[in-house]
Amino acid sequence: MSACVEIVIEDERWSAFGLEVAAGRAASATLTHLGLAPDLFGLVVMGCDDARIAGLNGEFRDKAKPTNVLSWPSEERGSEFAGEAPERPEPGTVEEPASLGDIAIAYETCTREAAEQGKDIHDHVTHLLVHAVLHLLGYDHIDDDDADLMEETERQILASLGIADPY
């Protein structure tokens, strides 16, 4: 079972990278870890460049600069209590998976960060995609308790994929 991930390629470097495989792997591992059937959920991942994500960041977050990844949940799922797991989304069907939302990821920022941090680029991008899928599911890191929950969840998911603790 794998999540229904629609890929939009705006920067061809993402095709060569294998964004479709990485996004499917990250989404499926995240959903499976949380006890959700991956094939009953869908999301869209756009692989873009720094210029495009800077525009999106400016439009949606009033920060007109590049960032590594952005996410837009299809609905608010966050918990009202700090450090508590968000409400689980209602699943769709295999024929019509429930939409979790959209993700944009920027090539230059991701490759630069991986190089600066001495991380394998595929591991770094997988981590960012897991992080973004968790945002679609209502996880956040604004509050320290929420950040602790989100980071620990990321660690567990990444470990299940054979990826070392990124923190």
Domain range for 106:
4-160
Q: 125 and 118 in contact (C-beta within 8 Å)?
A: no
Predicted pLDDT at 80 = 86
**Structure token digits, residue 10:** 């705006």
Which residues does the chain have with pLDDT short of 70? 1
In a domain, 63, yes or no: yes
Q: Which residues are annotated as a binding site for Zn(2+)?
A: 131, 135, 141
Structural domain tally of the chain?
Answer: 1
Q: Which residues are annotated as a binding site?
A: 131, 135, 141
Closest CA to 51 of 11, 101, 103: 11
122-154 per-position pLDDT tens digit: 999 999 999 999 999 999 998 999 999 999 999
In a domain, 52, yes or no: yes
In a domain, 165, yes or no: no
In a domain, 125, yes or no: yes
Predicted pLDDT at 1 = 67
Edge to edge, what strands does the sheet with 4-9 contain?
4-9, 41-48, 98-106, 69-73
CATH number at residue 19: 3.40.390.30
